[in-house]
Amino acid sequence: MLWLSALVVIAQLSAAKPLLNQRWDDQSVKHAWVEIPKGWEYHSAPPADHLLDLRIGLKQDKIDQLISSLYEVSDPAHGRYGKHLSKEEVDALVAPHPDSVDAVEAWLEHHGINPSDAHFRLTAGEWVTIRVSVAQAERMLNTKYAVYRHPSTGSQVVRTMEYSLPTELHSHVDVISPTTYFGTMQSMRATSFIQPQAASPDSDSFATNISPLDVPASCGVTVTPACLRALYNTTDYVPQATDNNSLGIASYLEQYANDADLQTFFTTFRPDAVGSTVEHVQINGGLDDQSLPGIEANLDIQYSLGIAWPTRGTVYSTGGEPPFNASSTTPTNTNEPYLDWLNYLLNQTTIPQTLSNSYGDQEQTVPLDYATSVCNMFAQLGVRGSSLFTSSGDHGVGGGDCNTNDGTNTVKFQPIFPASCPYITAVGGTTGVNPEVAASLSGGGFSNYFRRPAYQTSTVASFIIALGDEYSDLHNASGRTYPDLAAQAAGFQVVNGGETITVGGTSASAPTVAGVFALLNDMRIVEGKSPLGFVNPLIYSVAKDGFNDIVSGNAPGCGTDGLSARAGWDAVTGLGTPDFLKLQALLKDARVTNDYS
């Protein structure tokens, strides 16, 4: 097997020698769209010599064992709870079978690509990246690429409506990109938005210390770290494992967390944190342009650390957004951002114990093979001991567009990915205090790709029964349901470009919950225990009483009143908002005290 460890180089594109074995001629479609994904339009044909970095995801030989391990180390009732796997152990499970390696190498050679020249990107060997021309990619995938334009952003990408592989390779290859996934960073939605200013800088709402016993009504309009710390009972907890515990924030769309804005934010809202800094990590050409502060990036880091300080924070800036340039001899980096970010993280020996992502697409716009591959990569993070939170979306049950993209334009509730992935913790939105109620924007519903995981079955049963036949033609009642948790989603005071603005969306909810769980991870590390890792099996079982149940409000969409919050779990606010003190007590239960050994 000719697996190499160097960086990607240009593959030799010489004509392949005729082979007696014609196994590569029997081709079948791997994925196809019925119509151009919504929001995109055909623009032009790309030059035949335009270069693509073609990424091939090989079947992971023991992925079923990895998923089983994920559930075992994440289930507080299991003897393996907390026994997270090392990078090397995970790599051994996701490495491709030798037969898959041999088949792909033979296919590359058939197309004139010498595997010893087409350097393979190594994590566990399951991803291969080759640089080829559009013409070569079209021959390999029996397809035609085109330049597609996203009118609302002006973004242009090189994609195809379908691609094929030799039938033999279908059992060896999970996904190839860039092909049919149009969701590049320009079209991905950051789940946040600017709101009208809720308060002036001298408002009493900007108090830096609020009693959890007396949360003022103003916190339901103007949200600050003090409000959240009081609402979710973290005010008195002081992190101690700051050398070992860290929190990471995913950043795309040329969003840059600004250091000066962070200091201004700390000065105004968290004075004890003034002077502390965050680490900036650039991935795949990502930048750290301090002259271009980003509202989303600032929101994420300011509020996750506004709760979790002095926990160490890292912002991952993932690049890959240059526009298509037909005259350029440099390949447009059209690899999808999740793959770049996840491959980077999974290639590190140590990763943050808590991660937050505030970006998503409609699930139906993400090819199933791509979504499955990304979801399995989330599972790798979880089995290694990282808790990953993602926003559930800001469009209620409709996901922003209720019509299906299968050519029928049928109205359906549209789930959001990656919130719909069962190996990630999705966070919905609330608003108001005393009591909190569901925010009407809170994304939630049922996946059409992923079945409901066992950890949800008993907890969501009453909601499914109460829902009955209502909307039965609009959703997949057997799918993975989300969100799992919720937090405030409106009125957040964010410093951007030196000015305080008001921001809303579940982009605020996800880093808020991540901040709370970063403190729980700190507590466990101080006690000599393992970090929580993938938290869903825990929160749906012994820790399910550690949340404030949200019982009113609804998330409308698709011409309906949508789904409603109710007692117990619901598909608008999940199990509810976190109560740190309750969770802290529940995690001291004997069944969740496994140490690192």
Transcribe 363-420 into DSSP letters: GGGS-HHHHHHHHHHHHHHHHTT-EEEEE--SSTTTTT--B-SSSS--B----EETTT
pLDDT at 345 over 80: yes
The pLDDT of residue 259 is 97
**Average pLDDT of the segment spanning 87-114:** 93
For the chain, give every domain's residue range. 1-61+96-182, 196-322+337-592
Strand runs (DSSP E) across 505-596, as ranges? 547-548, 554-557, 560-564, 577-578
471 pLDDT above the threshold of 70: yes
Whether residue 187 is predicted with pLDDT greater than 50 in this model: the reply is no
With cut-offs at 50, 70 and 90, classify the pLDDT of residue 339: confident
In degrees and rounded to multiples of 5, residue 386 shows phi and psi of -105, 135
Mean pLDDT of 396-413: 90
Sort residue 581 into left (φ over 0), alpha (ψ -120 to 50) or beta. alpha
Beta strands in 206-326 (DSSP E): 246-251, 279-283, 312-318
Is residue 458 scored above 80 in pLDDT?
Answer: yes
Per-residue pLDDT, 129: 85
- In sequence order, what are the beta bridge partners of 283? 318
Mean pLDDT, residues 342-368: 93
Predicted confidence at residue 329, as pLDDT, reads 54
> pLDDT tens digit string along 497-544?
999 999 999 999 999 999 999 999 999 999 999 999 999 999 999 999
Q: Does residue 358 register a pLDDT over 70? A: yes
Report cis status (omega within 30 of 0) of the bond before 212.
Answer: no
Is the pLDDT at 231 greater than 90? The verdict is yes
Q: Is the pLDDT of residue 104 over 60?
A: yes
What pLDDT shows up at residue 547? 98
Give percent of the chain with pLDDT exceeding 70. Answer: 86
Residues that constitute the known binding site for Ca(2+)? 549-550, 568, 570
- Give the CATH number of domain 196-322+337-592; options: 3.40.50.200, 3.60.21.10, 3.30.365.10, 3.30.70.3270: 3.40.50.200
Identify the pLDDT of residue 476.
94
For residue 328, give the DSSP letter: -
Q: Give the model's pLDDT for residue 289.
A: 87
Q: Which residues are annotated as a binding site?
A: 549-550, 568, 570
Contacts of 433 (CB under 8 A, 6+ apart): 215, 216, 217, 219, 220, 227, 231
Q: What is the pLDDT of residue 124?
A: 67
Strand order in the sheet with 145-150: 41-44, 145-150, 155-160
C-alpha R_g of the chain: 24
More confident residue, 358 or 372: 372
Say what the pLDDT of residue 17 is. 42
Residue 57 has pLDDT above 80, yes or no: yes
According to DSSP, the residues that pair with 356 across neighbouring strands are 249, 389
Residue 459 has pLDDT above 70, yes or no: yes
pLDDT over 90 (residue 81): yes
- Of the listed ranges 93-102, 117-126, 236-245, the one predicted with least confidence: 117-126
Query: Across residues 48-55, what is the average pLDDT?
Result: 91
* pLDDT of 14 strictly over 80: no
Task: Report, as an integer, the average pLDDT of 21-42.
Answer: 89
Residues serving a catalytic function are: 296, 300, 507
Q: Examine the pLDDT at 596 and tell me if it is beyond 60.
A: no
Arithmetic mean of pLDDT, 83-100: 96
Give the span between the Cα atoms of 256 and 265, in whole angstroms.
Answer: 15
**What count of Cα atoms within 13 Å lies in the side-chain half-sphere of residue 595?**
4
For residue 488, pLDDT over 90 is answered with: yes
The values of phi and psi at residue 228, to 5°, are -70, -40
- Pick 170 or 16 by higher pLDDT: 170
Query: Mean per-residue pLDDT for 297-307?
Result: 96
User: Where residue 12 falls among pLDDT bands split at 50, 70, 90?
Assistant: very low
- Predicted local distance difference test score (pLDDT) of residue 324: 59
Top-confidence range, 123-127, 182-186, 430-434: 430-434
Q: What is the DSSP string of 111-155?
A: TT--TTTSPPPPSSS-EEEEEEEHHHHHHHHT--EEEEEETTTTE
Residue 38 has a pLDDT of 84
Tokens 């992925």 appear where?
Answer: 63
The pLDDT, as a whole number, for residue 392 is 95
